[in-house]
A and B are shown apart, each in its own frame.
Chain A
Amino acid sequence: MNQKKTKIISYWILAGPPLILFLSVILFPILFSLIISLSNWSGSGSLQWVGLKNYIEIIHDRIFFHGLRNNLLIVAISVLGQIPLGFVLAYILYRKIVQREKFFETMIFLPITISPVVIAILWNQIFSTSGLYTSIIRKISNNPRYVVSIFENQSLAIIPILFVILWMYTGMYMVMYLANLQKISPSILEAAEIDGASESQILLHIIFPFMQGVIMTTTIFAITGSLKSFDLIYAMTGGGPAHFTEVIAIYMYTNTFKYYKYGFGSAVSIIIVLLSVGLIFLLQILSRRLDRKYS
């Protein structure tokens, strides 16, 4: 057997099973979803083609756009909140700017180890009308009818959820950044310090270029994760009241599994895929520009 054939065999042995798994688990459901999205299938019975009717209905639905707006806010809090904050925290711990860094590392990472449903119950216990915060304010203000009104405001109701998302997931990015920062050879930093580089110069000219790939990867995680947000919000508010905290995934779930509109729900899921791909594509353009700048 010549080397070329051995290479081909090795390739298929290694790549064959994962490729089949990928086609079955990832590509097939997406394609199947795409087909279903062009029908009015109700989960059972016959399937009738309706063309782009589901997509047209979606883009005329204000609830979808409110959900999309909430999703984009989650993307924003993830990309502009969790990632910079995670990086800053990792940098502080890496450069040992605070003492007892192991303790802080554990505390910041702790929320991500807890189930989103438990987190949702925990924060509900604090903010609900029978919860801790409301009870304290009712006592202090002597107003037994006090409630946290932000939850009843169409535009602002998502804010407490954004706060919980920021609190919960920042630790994950911090650990990812910290692990990568620790890969930087200390001798490089020592050499820079000996050469008289300031902290900001070290950060801008050594750390950032080294971390660029990781930041890119985590940003993709943040975007795709944000567009799929479901469990925490569903357990916390169910998308309510009156769709105020609804996100696209809840919109999809409601239409698919509560109203039995599998075709419609599939169309929503395809839109989520397209949004994810679109945002990642934009991010890659941005990344290439940054690459050129650093090179």
Chain B
Amino acid sequence: MKKREIVRLFVLCSFCVSTALLVGCNKKGEEATTQESGTITLSAYHYLDQTDKTTAPNFQALVEAFNKKYPNIKINFEFGYGEAYHTKLQTLAASGQLPDMMVVYPGKRTAYITSEGHVQDLRPRFSGHESEFASIALKSQGPNGEMWEIPEDISVTSIMYTNNKLLKELGLTFPKTLDELIAQGETIRQAGLIPISMANKDAWPMQSCLASMLAERTGGMEWFDKAVKGDGAGFDDDVFVRALEIINFLHEKEMFSPGINQLAYMQGLDDFVNERAVYFIDGGWMVNNMVGELSDEQKEYMSLESFPDIPNQKGESGSASGVAGTGFGMNSDLSGEKAEAAWKWIWFYSGPEGSAIRQRFGRLPAYNLKAPDDVDPMIKKLINYVGSIPMGYVLDSVVGAEGIGIFNNDLQEMMFGLTTPKDVASKLEEWVNENDRSN
């Protein structure tokens, strides 16, 4: 072999080795899909904070129960949480390596895979089970009524948790109107307490837990439906601006936690369970944490309430914002017995068995279940609350990720006095109009 050929061969080998290293021989990464001694192996990507001392053991118990019932189905779980979950899921989708099952949202949050045809419509499999679920869980998830996932629970995103012991000590009762609530502020602050505990460093809680509910109150559901579709109403309408003005008003009157936009998310709960705040506005999922954080005595005098009535209210009294929860979806490439096995898991997870397990740990399943008598008092209160309230939309389930990201930050700017409710509303309408009138 001539020297020149040696050089060429070497360069070629170098290139091949480098390319192999960079691209990665992904055979190992590919999920085993073959049957081994009758066992069907599936891969799943789950949205779970494994450090969460309530949810993680809950999920573990659920997996163990499933394995016991279906020993021939093996599921390899990977876990992600927060933005990291979505980043990885989208990367998997882009590289054509989506797992067999993955947690998806009923709204716009996981549109990056559901609208791209990566997830199966589960309606044919779900058909016949409709009456077993809460009506909110059956709302359309896709533009043609698709059902990408079977909701595991109901997410009420706006509850005014109330410390009735503190209220009594201050000589107050739960306010019926916004004015009454504002009037209580002075008394509560003078006692060295926070009127309404909220933590908005992550920017989404103000939108999800307060603005969404207020939008339904100021405009009513008819307006909300029209605004979402752009059908004779929009987010720049006076009723929506009014909802944002109420947030501004509450902020100006020092009703929220000091430095609300600097407070890390769980600090809101911390202030409430440690009785530094009289009210706490957050989602129903917080009951999950309260089960472990509150003492038995506290559970007696803590109650779940709806935000008081507001002036010129067009929506319903006592309403809250809510959305069907997340659930497992199935990869659209799945077929045959793998698809059957995946459905077994999805149904086990969101159906009667998984729902009963989650309920024991403090979740409110979308599956209609009678609460057991020995259920935690906070869960009982949540079940009663959800069963008694009218529910409106959550903005982040009807507006796309970018639009809602801009809106969340604009709400913070508004509270700092850098922009006005009118401008925030106009900007949201402008974005929705340009990008998102597909509902």
Contact = CB atoms under 8 A, between A and B. Distances in A.
Interface of A: 1, 5, 8-9, 12-13, 16-17, 20-21, 24-25, 42-45, 124, 128-130, 134, 144-148, 151-152, 154, 238, 240-243, 254, 257-261
A241 B7 contact: no
B90 A43 contact: yes
Interface in B1-55: 3, 6-7, 10-11, 14-15, 17-19, 22
Contacts of A21: 18
Interface string B68-108: 00000000000000010011001101100000000000000
Contacts of A9: 3, 6-7
Contacts of B413: 242
B262 A129 contact: yes
B112 interface: yes
B162 interface: no
Contacts of B83: 257-258
A16 B7 CA distance: 10
Contacts of A43: 90-91, 93-94, 112
Contacts of A145: 189, 254, 258
A44 B3 contact: no
B119 to A, nearest CB: 12
B202 A129 contact: no
A41 to B, nearest CB: 9
B416 to A, nearest CB: 6
Contact of B261 (A44, A130, A152, A257): A152
B427 to A, nearest CB: 12
Contacts of A259: 401-402, 405
Contact of A240 (B201, B402, B410): B201
Given A25-B22, A152-B259, A241 B6 contact: no
Closest 8 CB pairs of A and B: A147-B259, A259-B402, A242-B412, A129-B259, A241-B261, A145-B258, A242-B413, A17-B14
B263 A44 contact: no
A24 B18 CA distance: 8
Given A44-B112, A128-B264, 13 more contacts: A5-B3, A43-B94, A44-B118, A124-B264, A128-B262, A129-B258, A129-B262, A130-B264, A144-B192, A146-B258, A154-B416, A242-B203, A260-B90
A134 B264 CA distance: 14
Contact of B14 (A16, A45, A129, A152): A16
B267 interface: yes
B402 A261 contact: yes
Contacts of B113: 44
B7 A242 contact: no
Interface in B256-272: 257-259, 261-264, 267, 270
Contacts of A258: 83, 86, 401-402, 405
Contact of A151 (B19, B202, B262): B262
A146 B258 CA distance: 7
A40 to B, nearest CB: 12
A242 B416 contact: yes
B116 interface: yes
Nearest to B192: A144
Interface in B237-254: 254
Q: Among the interface residues A12, A128, A242, A254, which one has the most CB atoms of the partner chain B within 10 A? A: A242
A44 B90 CA distance: 8
Contacts of B368: none
Interface in B315-357: none
A257 B91 CA distance: 9
Nearest to A152: B416
A8 B412 CA distance: 63
Nearest to B276: A144
Contacts of B7: 8-9, 12
B18 A17 contact: yes
Nearest to B189: A145
A128 to B, nearest CB: 6
A21 B14 CA distance: 9
A147 B416 CA distance: 14
Contacts of B118: 44
A13 B10 contact: yes
B94 A44 contact: yes
B176 to A, nearest CB: 27
Contacts of A261: 402
Contacts of B201: 238, 240-241
B432 to A, nearest CB: 14
A70 to B, nearest CB: 15
A211 B258 CA distance: 50
B333 to A, nearest CB: 14
A1 B401 CA distance: 65
A241 B90 contact: no
A148 B261 CA distance: 12
Nearest to B401: A259
B3 A241 contact: no
B265 to A, nearest CB: 11
B18 A20 contact: yes
B298 interface: no
22 contacts: A17-B14, A17-B17, A20-B15, A44-B112, A44-B113, A44-B118, A124-B264, A129-B258, A129-B267, A130-B267, A130-B270, A144-B192, A152-B262, A154-B416, A238-B202, A240-B261, A240-B412, A241-B203, A242-B261, A242-B409, A242-B410, A261-B402
